[in-house]
Amino acid sequence: MDTYKWRLKLANFYPPFFGAGIRLQKVNNDFTYMKVKLAFGFLNANLVGTQFGGSLFAMCDPWYMIMLFHHLRKEYIIWDKAATIRFRKPGKSAVFAEFIIDDDLLTKIRSEVDELGKKDFHFKTEVKNKEGEVIAEVDKVIYIKKK
């Protein structure tokens, strides 16, 4: 396993993730796909017995930035800039989120940032239960600037 990928798996032991039951389940070899699981239990249940919104938000926080950093870090500065969450349905079980980028997106980012010098890029993630129902939607804004 690649050293960067191995270090990324250590994120499962990062205290805010570990304590909340957030686990990075899958990372493909070219860092264009990640799947994250948020377990459900008393440590991350809210007052009404459903998934705590902060944990839903945290499970989606770093992944797009990490993926983009892996691909673009030599030529570009990459920062999380903003994020919003919309709760669609109470989470009463484990939930999952997938994060996907592709070569076309990386080409587009390089082209636009090279032309403009810097740009904000928007990413949307759906948090789903095992039945595929959308529990929450998270929008991330990633700032990318030419070094």
pLDDT tens per residue across span 52-98: 999 999 999 999 999 999 999 999 999 999 999 999 999 999 999 99
Q: pTM of the prediction?
A: 0.91
Is the pLDDT confidence value at 3 over 70? no
Domain ranges of the chain: 3-146
Q: pLDDT per residue over 11-60, tens digit each?
A: 888 878 888 899 999 999 889 999 999 999 988 899 999 999 999 999 99
Q: How confident is the model at residue 4 (pLDDT cuts 50, 70, 90)?
A: low
> Average of pLDDT values for 96-101?
98
CA proximity to 55, closest of 40, 69, 66: 40
**CA separation for the pair 101, 79 (Å, rounded):** 16
Considering the domain 3-146, what is its CATH architecture? Roll (3.10)
Whether residue 22 contacts residue 7, with contact meaning beta carbons closer than 8 Å, is answered with no
For residue 125, the surrounding DSSP H or E stretch is strand 118-129
Maximum CA extent, the chain: 49
Whether residue 134 contacts residue 126, with contact meaning beta carbons closer than 8 Å, is answered with yes
